[in-house]
Homo-oligomer: A and B are copies of this chain.
Amino acid sequence: MGIVVLYGSSRRNGNTDKLADLLVEGLNADKIYLSDYHLQPITDYRHTELGAYPDDDYHELIDRVLEQDTIVFATPIYWYGISGVLKTFIDRWSQSLREDRDHFLSKMSAKRAYVIAVGDDEPQLKGLPLIQQFQYIFDFTRTQFDGYIIGEGNKPGSILEDTTALSSVDELRKRIILND
């Protein structure tokens, strides 16, 4: 019941945003543009006393994520991986594990996840390690990895010429509506 979209782009209305917008068009979705928020890198407290975590927007954002049943991760492929700002957000999940492991994992294991990744250098091939990384992430959180779309785009708006990506959006969209 409910969708949250995590936008990992550094630029608004880029190709990644456009593709994600098409996926949830007309659906009720909480859209989080990560670059609008303040997120510090993780500090590793695993082997120290539970410290003061950064006082930034993390808690607000993770709470909004945990409220929804469906998470869409929309990331441009930067240097063949997840964008830095989205990676920083995911890294902070370790804080949630430290603060309340059972609650976090129990929430995450009840969700479905979708990944949208857009790149410009053979993303259908060079984006595969990124997909495999998400697979391991969702294996860990026991989140159902229900589908992904890899799009190709470079110039503004060029994603709209990637007809394969567009038709995959239609298919994933049906699946999201069915499950919602």
Contacts and interface: CB of A to CB of B under 8 A. Distances in A.
B81 A87 contact: yes
A156 B14 CA distance: 42
Contacts of A171: 163-164, 167
Interface in A140-168: 140, 145, 147-148, 154-156, 163-164, 167-168
A32 interface: no
A88 B93 contact: no
Interface stretch (A18-26, A59-67, A105-113, A124-132): A124-132
Identical copies of this chain, number:
4
Given A94-B78, A164-B168, A168-B164, A129 B124 contact: no
Given A47-B156, A164-B171, A167-B170, A126 B136 contact: yes
Interface string A117-129: 0000100111011
9 contacts: A41-B83, A42-B84, A79-B93, A81-B82, A81-B133, A88-B88, A125-B145, A147-B164, A164-B171
Interface of A: 9-11, 14, 35, 41-44, 46-47, 76, 78-85, 87-88, 90-91, 93-94, 121, 124-126, 128-133, 135-137, 140, 145, 147-148, 154-156, 163-164, 167-168, 170-172, 174
Given A84-B88, A125-B131, 18 more contacts: A11-B47, A35-B41, A41-B85, A47-B155, A79-B90, A79-B94, A79-B137, A79-B140, A84-B84, A87-B87, A87-B88, A124-B147, A128-B128, A129-B136, A133-B133, A163-B171, A163-B174, A164-B168
